[in-house]
Chain A
Amino acid sequence: MTRLSDNVISRLKAEMLVPDLTGTRYEPVRMLGRGGMATIWLVRDTVLEREVAMKVLAPEAGSDALAARLQHEALVLASLEHPGIVPVHDAGTLADGRTFYCMKYVQGKTLDEFSQGKDLREGIELLRRVVEPVAFAHARGFVHRDLKPENIMVGAFGEVLVMDWGLAKSLQDAAGPPGQEFRVAAGDRGRTAHGTVLGTRGFMSPEQERGDQHEIDERSDVYALGAILRFLADGANEHLSPSLRAIAAKAMAKERGARYSSAIDFSADLNHYLLGQQVVAYPESLIEKLARQLRRHQVAVGLVLVYLLMRLVFILFSH
């Protein structure tokens, strides 16, 4: 038998992963990442002379269901043209039989990387921008179902993109996308593996955990957005105000009827918080309302107090 050194084995392993781009307009550059069912490669489009990201089915993922799932993902992306959703450029089957699609190569950091060392206010402003493409998808009848910090990219110029629409479900199609049986299941946060159903534990709604397909709607994504808010708050290590805690709690309510009815409502309440206004999720007492108003208008209140103090001093001295 041919004797293979450790060196040769490492090389053969690496070669096995390289997509067979014979007959295509692409050349492989390097691997960008590897997930449960697919690898993502940086490839060079030799016609348009630019680099794009190619998502290609893993060599071992030879089932029709997984190929159908990747095709579904490409179709979902193609139907969602939005600045916050990565555009798809091409899709098809490679010479080695593997399904692929090409998308814009986004350079930047995932939200979990980007949010490190940032203050919470900045994180919340970013989260509001995540809501925009999510709400757009909802309006087009799609639920993402796997929103988490690792699936949100912050580009080099501050652009925010929601990635990985492989679990997206059409609200018109109760059965969900093809390849359901191979859906990524939850492991530890950020780790996914082949398994039974659905998203990532810690970010997926109770109805997703139960595998209750008919219960899943845009409020399932609202749950995930609430979980991301909590993730950002934990990372910022700041004291959470009761109103912000209430926003996260409302978004992550166990019963979907108790959550915000839409991602836009969630975002609007975050905006109330940022502007120092009363949030829908938290009914304030009179004292809390007064304290918030004082905080909100502290400059004006300060000026009035200084004015009154000066008047008082003037009256005292004039007598």
Chain B
Amino acid sequence: MPEVIFLPFSTHGESFPLTRYSVVAAVKSSNEAERRAAIDAIAAAYWRPVYKYIRLRWNVQTEEAQDATQDFFAQLIEKEFLATYDVNKARMRTFLRTCIDRMMMNRSRDAVREKRGGGAAHLSLDFADAEHELAAASVPASMDEFFEREWVRSLFGLAVERMKASCTQAGKQKQFAVFEACDLVDRDEKPSYVELARRFGIAVTDVTNYLSLTRREFRRCVLEQLRAMTGSDDEYRREAQALLGVDPK
């Protein structure tokens, strides 16, 4: 019996159970609902990197980039691009980026572009938020690095959302709040455990325990998302090593 996994958040902010090992496998499913859910999960994880990549790499204005992003995911569904994806040949990100470039080349070639009709898939995406992120982003050394970095940001962002939801569901809002105050603050120096204990009115040992629990949960959420977004064990391990391959300090 196949293992049931929960996909990362969809673009609607829900998760969907899949009877597949990964979304890469699920996009080839004969079950329409499962296939759509897998595409939705891929969109949730990739739409921000895709949008930002289109804006920078193809140097287009916000409205056209929004339209192209919607167009891209619509084509993923309609033209079943992902059915041709071979995990043994390329990473999912490389494959998607090639698809974006191909689509953008076609869009520029077509002098008169047909606007998508009402029947086309349309995702609910917060482009304004993505624009804010883009404005705050540092200048990338290369588009490869940029897409990679934005993918990691999206992956971690989704993991934080998922973790927040699971903490809320389990009545562990305070645990999440401590994690947020310690690990998610944009400061060079993290607050000390004593400072956190005082702020939340708890013992220092509680801070240690809360952080231990939430970091464990965060790690689980990230790796689960990564596993869902890769097509094989080998790709998963390579991706995880690339993701966590920090220099020893």
Contact = CB atoms under 8 A, between A and B. Distances in A.
B156 interface: yes
Of the four ranges (under 10, 10 to 19, 20 to 34, 35 or more), the interface on chain B belongs to: 35 or more
B157 A1 contact: yes
Given A3-B129, A18-B215, A95-B212, A60 B249 contact: no
B238 A95 contact: no
Given A8-B184, A8-B185, A59-B219, A17 B246 contact: yes
B234 A194 contact: yes
Nearest to A40: B248
B59 interface: no
A33 B248 CA distance: 6
Nearest to B208: A22
B16 interface: no
B223 A20 contact: no
A7 B219 CA distance: 17
A11 B234 contact: no
Contacts of A59: 219, 223, 240, 244
A238 interface: no
A150 to B, nearest CB: 14
Contact of B186 (A1, A5, A58, A62): A5
A15 B158 CA distance: 17
Given A22-B209, A22-B212, A194-B234, A13 B248 contact: no
Interface in A72-87: none
Contacts of B209: 22
Contacts of B245: 34
Interface string A19-35: 01010000000111110
A15 B244 contact: no
A95 B220 CA distance: 13
B190 interface: yes
Contacts of B248: 30-34
A15 B133 contact: no
B215 A20 contact: yes
Nearest to B44: A1
Nearest to B159: A12
A15 B215 contact: yes
A106 interface: no
Contacts of B147: none
A316 interface: no
Contacts of A31: 246, 248-249
B248 to A, nearest CB: 5
Contact of A20 (B185, B188, B212): B212
Interface residues of A, number: 35
A23 B240 CA distance: 26
B160 interface: yes
B212 A16 contact: no
A2 interface: yes
A6 interface: yes
A139 interface: no
Contact of A1 (B161, B188, B212, B244): B161
Interface of B: 126, 129, 132-133, 136, 138, 149, 152-153, 156-158, 160-161, 164, 183-188, 190, 208-209, 212, 215-216, 218-219, 222-223, 226, 233-234, 236-238, 240-241, 243-246, 248-249
Q: Which 3 A-B pairs have the closest CB atoms?
A: A60-B240, A5-B186, A31-B248
Interface of A: 1-18, 20, 22, 30-34, 36, 58-63, 95-96, 194
Given A31-B248, A36-B241, 14 more contacts: A1-B157, A2-B157, A2-B161, A3-B132, A3-B157, A4-B153, A7-B186, A7-B187, A12-B156, A13-B246, A15-B215, A16-B222, A33-B248, A194-B234
